Amino acid sequence: MTDRITLGQLYPNAVSSPASRRTGSSGSTSQPAGTFDQLLQQQLDVRFSHHAEERLKQRGIRFQPEQLAKIQSAIDKAATKGAKDSLVLINDTALIVNIKNRTVITAIDSDSMKDNVFTQIDSAMIIS
């Protein structure tokens, strides 16, 4: 089972979850966000499994909104190529991503990657 992690949970200063963006405190539909960053945040659709969330916390891995957008773009590209489970390398972090569910399964920092073998993947992407 995967939990949807929002930017607000990983980064308290970031925009809140898509559900809270769609409805205001009164439950009515909110107006579109005004800034580019807010619009970008509304378009992000990357989930993190509970396991991945724990690994991010344990290993002190933090993603900026721009990095999350790059991860989403990589997922989009992998999906168009028919990938199912991908290794995504971004900076010094490796992510195993289930493409169909758009879910990060686990996150590995550079220290934990040494002498590691990645199995059950069908593609790999390097994000710069």
Q: What is the pLDDT of residues 68-78, one digit of tens each?
A: 999 999 999 99
| Residue-number span of the structural domain to which 115 is assigned | 2-127
Q: Which of 13-27, 75-89, 97-111, 112-126 is the least confident region?
A: 13-27
Q: What is the pLDDT of residues 19-70, one digit of tens each?
A: 433 334 444 444 454 565 555 545 558 999 999 999 999 999 999 999 999 9
Number of domains into which the chain is organized: 1
Q: What is the DSSP string of 27-91?
A: SSBPPPP-SHHHHHHHH---EEEHHHHHHHHHHT----HHHHHHHHHHHHHHHHTT-SEEEEEET
Q: What is the pTM of this model?
A: 0.66
User: What is the rounded average pLDDT of the residues 74-100?
Assistant: 95
